[in-house]
Amino acid sequence: MENRWNRTDAEAFDGPLGSCVYASRLLGSEPSLVLHGGGNTSVKLIDHDLHGEQMEVLWVKASGHDLATIEPAMFVALRLDRIRRLVALDQLSDAAMANELRVARIDASAPTPSVEAILHAIVPATAVHHTHPDALLAIANTPDGREKIEELYGARVVVVPYARSGFLLAKATADAIGRLSMADTVGIVLMNHGLFTFGGSSDEAYSRMIDLVTEAERHLERSSAAAASKRAKSPSVGPIRGVGAAALAKLRSEISTVAGAPVIMSRHTDATSWAFSQHQDLENLAARGPATPDHVIWTKTVPMFGRDVEQYAARYRSYYEQHKPRAPTSSMLDPAPRVIFDRELGMLTAGPDVGGADRARDIYLQTIWIIEQATALGGYTTLSPEDFFDVEYWELEQAKLDRASVARNFTGEVAIVTGAASGIGRACAVELLEHGAAVVGLDLSAAVATVSDAPAYLGVACDLTIPGAVVAAIDAGVERFGGVDMLVAAAGVFPDSAPIAVANPDAWRRAMSVNVEAFVHLLSVVHPLLVLAPRGGRVVVIGSKNVAAPGPGAGAYSASKAAANQLTRVAALEWAGDGIRVNSVHPDAVFDTALWTDELVAERAARYGLTIDEYKRRNLMGIEITSSDVAGVVAAALGPVFSCVTGAHIPIDGGNDRVI
């Protein structure tokens, strides 16, 4: 592992806390050291209280923050003497420990400190860093892991048997430190958990972390080569074959039912996850549990093998009932799987939102690597189900889940938005993302890929008039997010204005092709997916004022929108029995869209004998309608307020006397 400490870069960070921030970012940017808020760092300083008296202060990472992007404000200052004394207690409940950590804050408004604060306090060094190195976990998770680590590092590290994070781990570490001379010690290996390194500065603690991890990596390289002949032949990795979107949507629907809420489910087609899904000893290896108990809140203890969701849920319920006496006041978490292996589908991960599904993916890809490395060393072993249960139902770990996922109207749901590169379609995509949905944006323009950089957004450039392109685009969306709950059909064209007497046949055909034929094909493709939507499918079609009140010169556009409107009404009739509601939103004079060029606005204004500003505000309320206004109405129509409404036609035009 490369030591990336750069003295010039480090000097841009002020003081010892600044150096700790810099080191934290270096550690956090190494996925093989920490993932998704894992790890923590600290530095001890001398400060003065309000009376001018000296006091030792422990600046430690606040709980739930990501080391890769951490800022000084994400550290908490604690009275070191108060925290250090806690380890002398024989017992300390979680509630009491959390209270003591809060009380020890110098600033009462500061965030909650890391649960490892006590351990940081007792380590006799100025700077302390904690990570979960993959290489070290691979060595630790073998039958003789402790012996291997002691042989590798000798007296340079203290090895501490596994204990749950917090007071128990700090107590076990204090006991181990107390029995040894720390003169030559640079690190502490916490079995099945991670590595602490320390030093007189953040630079020194960081360098020791890199050095120890590098030694573990080299040990694996040597051992893997020596053990190659003992390994089972790895399965060949062939191309990922296409799987019907309906099969994925069905599995996601069943998982959502067991979870009690819609989930995001992602299918992974990388070579690593695919090869592991085909491993001849897959169930035996993966059923042993994750490399460290801290991962169970994202992955659960074991994956699901195959697609029998009810069977998995039943086994989880039995697991909970068997171990409930260890957490008698707990309530069972949802019994739905977070990691799924299937011979045909490969590896999939699920979560309450895209972030949860992606965390499960990242952690399990790490787990696969650790399993493979440990197997090469002589076998992969983990802790007991009791240890996993204790962490899964530990209230302090559950708090991480609460912080990571904030439920919004469409959390766990997936929307397809056509015409998403600009105008109303783009505004709808952004609005739905803000309401918690995962969004698949479709558009002819490649700009659709740049609508949002959020993980919950996937932009796919495709021509809606090409059936195969539409199917491929929706398949890509289902592989990324698991299904389709909502469709916003916003794509459309507005041909150049022309009287019927001189109508352009090509313009007519273009309007019908995009606004009608492509639309009906889109409906036919998404229907089987909407049927499987956990909360019922929803469709909102962006219509037009021209459906009810056409204008002169807009024959092709008005006729095509009227035809699409009739299709919408028929869909509402046909799909109500499937639990799918279909409504139309009819905007008028929304000028921040690609349909309205400056030339077209000027031409239409002149046709009505109005100035451009008058034309833009020619409604009864005298206001201009924007794409974001329309998007707000669309989101409302897709939401729970409209749960009893289908076949409705909602104008958003500021009031039009011809429509009214």
User: What are the residue numbers of the active site?
Assistant: 557
Q: What residue type is assigned to position 573 of the chain? A: L
Cα distance between residue 21 and residue 42, in whole Å: 9
φ/ψ (deg, to 5) at 610: -120, 160
- Whether residue 547 contacts residue 490, with contact meaning beta carbons closer than 8 Å, is answered with no
Q: Tell me the two tokens of residue 164.
A: 């749950």
**DSSP assignment of 2-66:** -----HHHHTTS-HHHHHHHHHHHHHHT-TTT--TT--EEEEEEEEE-TTS-EEEEEEEEBTT--
3-state DSSP call for residue 542? strand
- Whether residue 435 contacts residue 410, with contact meaning beta carbons closer than 8 Å, is answered with yes
- For the sheet containing 40-48, what is the strand order? 75-79, 54-61, 40-48, 127-131, 194-199, 187-190, 157-160
The single residue listed with the structure tokens 């024959």 is: 555
Radius of gyration of the chain (CA): 30
Cα distance between residue 207 and residue 197, in whole Å: 9
- Whether residue 291 contacts residue 382, with contact meaning beta carbons closer than 8 Å, is answered with yes
- 601-619 as b/e: b if 16+ CB within 10 A: eeebbeeeeeeeeebbbbb
Cα distance between residue 43 and residue 21, in whole Å: 10
Exposed, middle or buried by CB within 10 Å (0-12, 13-18, 19+), for 349? buried
**DSSP assignment of 310-345:** HHHHHHHHHHHHHHGGGSTT--PPP---SEEEETTT
> For residues 512, 513, 516 and 522, what is the CA-based torsion angle, rounded to 10 degrees?
180
Cα distance between residue 526 and residue 537, in whole Å: 10
Whole-number Cα distances in Å, 630 to 423, 640, 656: 10, 18, 16
- Whether residue 240 contacts residue 344, with contact meaning beta carbons closer than 8 Å, is answered with no
| Angle 234-238-242 from CA coordinates, rounded to 5° | 135
- Whether residue 289 contacts residue 383, with contact meaning beta carbons closer than 8 Å, is answered with yes
